[in-house]
Structure 1
């Protein structure tokens, strides 16, 4: 009997332990409430700016060169010299050109004399032919002699004019008002025809030249405005227009050269000044700017988590809301549709949430990137 009682006691103890174990599994510890940070929806026209450093240059810059070769005997300007149209910039030695001109003049005189003689002979032989003293064949020979002399005279005149032009080409003149921005010759140097000897910039139209990385080219194409400011006058801005984007990247820097024309440049904007170019982009309609961390992918569609609890620091639930993305800018995403003014969007830890989950609200901070 004692053995039976002991067995029953052990069974009762074992049953009690199993019951306690079952109770522990049935009542697990509650999960902690996840804290979240939110941003309040406030639709507005969004503006972003990207800044680049550039240099002021002339819209038109001409490579000046002599049209004939020769030895430089005089240079009348320096870098930075302001010149007027027609001003003498440099001069070549004219001795050889003078000899060519004299020879052309002598050939012209000889051709003129031959022509005069052929003309006189032709007139005389025409009278003789009318008097039936000479034959038609003899008159034709005199006519051919006259035609040859006339052609030789025309050729001599052309060569003389060309020689005179060559003499004029020994002087280099400015073809427009401007500033000398570069000189590559010195007195006594021998240059060839067409060799660049100096650069002339026309300052009436100015532009800013700067480099842009390939992943920023779309900013230029979608820019709504371009603002230009000088480092010497940072408080003043001038409008600009993209004039040219290089078709190929620089092989060393892998960037693209961009030229922006300055609209109505001030008199104090000098060539070579450093400037800041701001690429401004504005949304066409009111949008909501959120950090990229607020975006959640629901299948193939973008979505965000909406906090539905009370305002202030408290507890509430979250729900998933599909949205329409207008654009991605820097570290922000612009939402065009799907959100209402005043709603609170979770901006961090969105991939650890589930619909209907209870969360605890943290104080809001400014999260949208860019300038508004």
Structure 2
């Protein structure tokens, strides 16, 4: 049964029973049988859950300069299509060029030291052959030559790094795609690795959705779903959950999930709105919200024992609250009878007179009909 307003006749009967119990003596109160409106959990096919999302590119690299500096030119805007290798922005190259010049000077100095050490080594080798110097003197000069050679190799390596950094003053697109966002302006000083643009790479498209904390455990990787595009209402496309964030967003407190399309002919464009449907198998039970109460934070309902029409406290596990009902995930069976309202007026083991919404007494012998 679905949740609805309580009959006025039942409310009058319930209040009369409660007040009557208070006005009598102890013996009368002990044997008073209260009227209780009872219902059975409403069992329906579960259907599906749905979440709104946005069509995104599967690959969305953040683009950044590999060296720091002042941005002097921005060559693209948000929404521009770019090709692989296309320049996107430039930083002031003067500092890196000065570093390149300094590296070249260090190479020249290291080469001069190496040439001098090589000349000395050859001269000392001749003297050694003539027995004019000792072996130790020759070994000392040879060591100096090795040190000079190592310094020359290091200078060449530093020069290559400086050349690379000079090239890093210009940011290029790593692949074809569309500029999704821009984080810097001309004149801004950026650090190495600081995001300048976000690129939506050409290729696969997918839908980004955000799952609330109480639903993320109901979604699994590689789960099959249906996707409906806002631009094509009624058309459903096959999809599959590809990724679920391991932690919640600190501001939204939701978990980002990405749903990939399983076919290549989906007419999905970047930025389009979409809705992802998660089918839920089996059946789902719900009860009136007024039937639910709690003790020390633990929810429960009053279940009627059909054998003697006494009440039994039944702890339940519930899902997200709805406007006038709540889904029951565990603790009840479809054929149970529960008190639909006034839970605070009843106690464990109390005998009640069960009635339905039309104020007719429920006969458990024939199923309550």
Could you tell me whether the CA contact under 8 Å between 1:66 and 1:193 is conserved in 2?
Answer: yes
| TM, length-normalised to structure 1 | 0.63
Flag structure 2 segments of 5+ consecutive residues without an equivalent: 1-33, 361-369
Question: 1:223 and 1:362, CA in 2 relative to 1: closer, same or farther beyond 3 A?
Answer: farther
Shift of 1:47: 1.3
Alpha-carbon distance in structure 2 between the residues aligned to 1:193 and 1:295: 58
Question: What does residue 174 of structure 2 align with?
Answer: 175
Q: In the superposition, relative to structure 1, how do residues 171 and 333 fare at CA in structure 2: closer, same or farther (>3 Å)? A: closer
* 1:221 has 2:217 as partner: yes
Query: For residues 208 and 117 of structure 1, do their structure 2 counterparts lie closer, same or farther at Cα, with a shift above 3 Å needed?
Result: same
- 149-158 vs 264-273, greater mean Cα deviation: 264-273
TM-score (normalised: structure 2) = 0.64
Q: Does the CA contact (< 8 Å) of 1:64 and 1:198 recur in 2?
A: yes
Structure 1 residues 330-366: Cα deviation after superposition (integer angstroms, max 9, x where no partner): 32354766554xx9x57745768975748577399xx
Contact 1:303/1:320 (<8 A) preserved:
no
Cα distance between partner residues in 2 of 1:347 and 1:75: 69
Match of 2:210 in 1: 210
Aligned to 1:129: 128
Q: Which runs of 5+ in 1 are unaligned?
A: 1-32, 309-317, 365-372
Mean CA deviation greater in 154-163 or 240-249 = 240-249
C-alpha separation between the residues in 1 aligned to 2:216 and 2:70? 48
In 2, are the aligned partners of 1:107 and 1:156 still within 8 Å (CA)? yes
Aligned residue pair count? 307
Matches within 5 A, 1:210-289: 210=210, 212=212, 217-223=213-219, 228-235=227-234, 236=236, 238-240=239-241, 243-244=244-245, 246-247=247-248, 249-250=250-251, 255-264=252-261, 267-278=266-277, 281-282=280-281, 288-289=285-286
Instruction: Compute the RMSD of aligned alpha carbons.
Output: 4.4
Structure whose CA Rg is larger: 1
The answer (yes or no) to whether the contact 1:83–1:174 under 8 Å persists in 2 is: yes
- 1:176-215 Cα deviation digits (max 9, x unpaired): 4432112234456554444432222346363424373xxx
**Matches for 1:99-114 after TM superposition, within 5 Å:** 99-114=98-113
Question: CA offset at residue 326 of structure 1?
Answer: 6.5
Please name the residue that 1:328 is paired with: 318
Q: Is the 8 A contact 2:36 2:353 kept in 1?
A: no
Hey, what does 1:147 align to over in structure 2? 146
Q: Is the 8 A contact 1:38 1:362 kept in 2?
A: no
Map 1:61-76 → 2, pairs under 5 A = 61-76=60-75
Following superposition, the deviation at residue 325 of structure 1 comes to 6.8
